[in-house]
């Protein structure tokens, strides 16, 4: 019997599509079709280990054109495999030193503290938008990318659009493509200027490293590809605004977590950050392509088939997480997280595999920003705080509106008032 194509159903059901298919499947492999191609769906820690094994799955032929045209960019590290991928990935990892991450956090928290002063005089503040602007200022300063404060809102809007537009067709997709064209042209020109000596890049900055990186073939990156990879430094960093907003949502729903965060409990803060990344929806799934005929749990995966790893279902799998739909930072207290346990940003070793190299930045930024958020005093006016799992990427419809914001306090702040 022919297998039905589920592309439309995936677009309609979003995060729930693959978990639902896995529940209905007679075995541990979902057999389906997506975008006219034969596909299989997998889930669980061992499936993640199988998926991220480069002897089984390749990524460069599996990314759909619309995702490359919005989220990642054509020619990006995400489209490479083997030696090409390892050399390009090493470029990113060279920026992720402890010192580099600390510097990024310091610059971003300084931008946050600058912004909070202006929030106090505003009738209302949309946290999602403000966090995006704060992080844009911080990451561009860190990356050596010149950006005037007056230009930060437009840059932040474009960087958010790159993430917001990958999940489906329509206006969001075309907005993302226009944003990518603008930002690739901007950064490509900057790379040319740095190489020609018309502009300077701070030594060791992302701009410097990417502009003068030599790929596996020994050649400098084409300026457009260099621009793509600079965007792949700043764009996922700005996407942390999603998690900042989710953290505010969690503090509003479960205000008991505010005091330990505001009090500076480092162990609890890290556990809280991991639980935000596990509990809230970000990437629904990731895809690759079978390099050869494979077998998983006794079921055949034919060569060339799309292989879809269920990220959202994995992070809510009751076999891995007790009471997975309960928000409980305590599940991470004293827990060593395996490479294939918590995978909101991919699985495996970030130094060599396809796990996001910026995951350390995400965790470090969130640890710093959620403490500052917990120390703010603000009201939460009536608004829609629902998060639709049909929308990819999911986000609060109103961006989490705050009013009567007062600057950070040094002692544990009271819960937001209604």
**Rounded mean pLDDT of the chain?**
91
Q: Is the pLDDT of residue 63 over 80?
A: no
Q: What is the pLDDT of residues 140-166, one digit of tens each?
A: 999 999 999 999 999 999 999 999 998
pLDDT at 28 over 70: yes
Domain ranges of the chain: 7-406
Q: Which two tokens stand for residue 204?
A: 């060791």
Q: Would the pLDDT of 352 be above 70?
A: no
- pLDDT band, residue 411 (cuts 50/70/90): very low
Rounded CA separation 224/73 (Å): 10
The mean pLDDT of 278-297, rounded to a whole number, is 94
Q: Report how far Cα 147 is from the mean position of its chain's Cα atoms.
A: 22
Closest CA to 315 of 337, 340, 287, 344: 344
* Residue 194 confidence class, pLDDT cut points 50, 70, 90: very high
Q: Which CATH class is domain 7-406?
A: mainly alpha
pLDDT of residue 350: 61
Give residue 336's pLDDT.
85
pLDDT digits (tens, 9 = 90+) for 299-321: 999 999 999 999 999 999 998 99
pLDDT of 353 > 70? The answer is: no
Distance between CA atoms of 415 and 413, rounded to whole angstroms? 7
Place of tokens 């395996």: 338
Please give the backbone phi and psi of residue 97, each rounded to the nearest 5 degrees, phi first: -70, 165
Of 86-90, 203-207, 370-374, 384-388, the least confident: 86-90
* Overall residue count recorded for the chain in this entry: 418
Residue 311 and residue 345 in contact, taking contact as beta carbons nearer than 8 Å: no
């Amino acid at each position: 019997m022919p297998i039905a194509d589920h592309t439309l159903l995936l677009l309609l059901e979003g995060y729930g599509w693959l978990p639902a298919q896995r529940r209905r499947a007679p075995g541990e492999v979902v057999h389906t079709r997506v975008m006219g191609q034969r596909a299989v769906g997998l889930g669980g820690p061992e499936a993640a280990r199988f998926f991220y094994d480069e002897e089984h799955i390749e990524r460069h032929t599996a990314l759909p054109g619309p995702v490359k045209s919005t989220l990642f960019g054509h020619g990006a590290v995400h489209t490479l495999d083997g030696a090409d991928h390892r050399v390009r990935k090493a470029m990113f990892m060279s920026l992720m030193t402890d010192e580099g991450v600390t510097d990024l956090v310091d610059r971003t928290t300084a931008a946050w503290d600058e912004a909070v002063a202006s929030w106090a005089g505003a009738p209302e503040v949309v946290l999602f938008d403000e966090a995006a602007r704060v992080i844009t200022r911080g990451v561009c300063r860190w990356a050596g990318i010149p950006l005037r404060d007056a230009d930060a809102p437009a840059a932040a809007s474009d960087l958010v659009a790159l993430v917001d537009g990958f999940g489906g067709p329509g206006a969001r997709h075309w907005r993302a493509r226009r944003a990518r064209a603008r930002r690739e042209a901007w950064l490509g020109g900057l790379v040319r200027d740095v190489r020609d000596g018309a502009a300077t890049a701070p030594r060791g900055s992302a701009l410097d490293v990417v502009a003068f990186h030599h790929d596996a073939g020994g050649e400098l990156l084409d300026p457009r590809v260099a621009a793509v990879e600079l965007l792949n430094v700043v764009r996922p960093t700005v996407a942390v605004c999603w998690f900042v907003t989710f953290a505010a949502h969690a503090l509003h729903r479960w205000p008991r977590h505010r005091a330990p965060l505001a009090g500076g409990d480092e162990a609890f803060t890290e556990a809280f950050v991991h639980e935000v990344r596990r509990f809230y929806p970000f990437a629904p799934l990731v895809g690759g392509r079978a390099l050869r005929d494979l077998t998983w749990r006794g079921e055949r995966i034919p060569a060339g088939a799309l292989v879809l790893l269920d990220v959202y279902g994995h992070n809510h799998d009751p076999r891995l997480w007790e009471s997975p739909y309960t928000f409980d930072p305590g599940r991470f207290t004293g827990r060593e997280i395996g490479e294939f346990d918590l995978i909101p940003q991919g699985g495996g070793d970030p130094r060599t595999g396809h796990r996001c190299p910026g995951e350390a930045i995400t965790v470090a930024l969130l640890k710093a920003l959620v403490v500052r958020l917990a120390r703010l005093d603000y009201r939460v006016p009536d608004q829609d705080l629902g998060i639709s799992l049909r929308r990819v990427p999911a986000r609060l419809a109103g961006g989490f509106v705050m009013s009567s914001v007062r600057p950070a306090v040094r002692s544990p702040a009271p819960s937001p008032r209604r």
